[in-house]
Structure 1
Amino acid sequence: MKKKLLALIPYTIALVLNFYVLPLLIKDTGMGMLMMLMVIPLITFICAVIYGVRQGFDFLFPIVATVLFAPTIFIFYNASAWVYIIAYAVIALAGNGIGRIFYKKR
């Protein structure tokens, strides 16, 4: 278990930067929508795929992504952003599953 958690650290750092630094670049509604609908989900998906390729499928990754994103609703967004918690969890789960396909071939 300790090895699994240590392997998760670089991906957690990437998700923290994704969820907490990128919203600082939002200047207007258009930029906010671009970030929330394209950039942040894409980076989350890429991190999940890479994690799945290197570590295999793990439910811990989508849980970590969900837990890390939840506080950003209160920091950067408003209550209407609650739906993104589910969306980003599903994206992380799908990416991790896709990465797992390539993990098996290694």
Structure 2
Amino acid sequence: MGRFDKFRIQGQPMPHYQRHDMDVLFSRGKWHRWEEAIAWLEEHGREEPELTGDVDEMLRDLRQLQYDHVTIPENGRRAYELAMEQHDWQTPITQKPEVPEVDETEEG
């Protein structure tokens, strides 16, 4: 049984993450790159009791910020604002598309 299963309504997505969740992430390390925050969230996010929202949705937003070369801020408040500015509100969370990999060999 998953951590959020008792809150899930059958057929409904996980609850959207909140600023509190981003604050929790930023309290777990002094991140200098999105990759560091993403790695921590991938390894510990689903087991972190203080995270109350959808970790996969949060990861998707952080990967998009990384892909867009957005400078990582120093605090969760600003990271949450940045994530919400670029959040894909059209794609249902149940579909979780992957952010394309950056092709370093591509010229242009």
Say whether the fold is shared (TM-score over 0.5).
no
More helix by share: 1
| TM-score normalised by L of structure 1 | 0.32
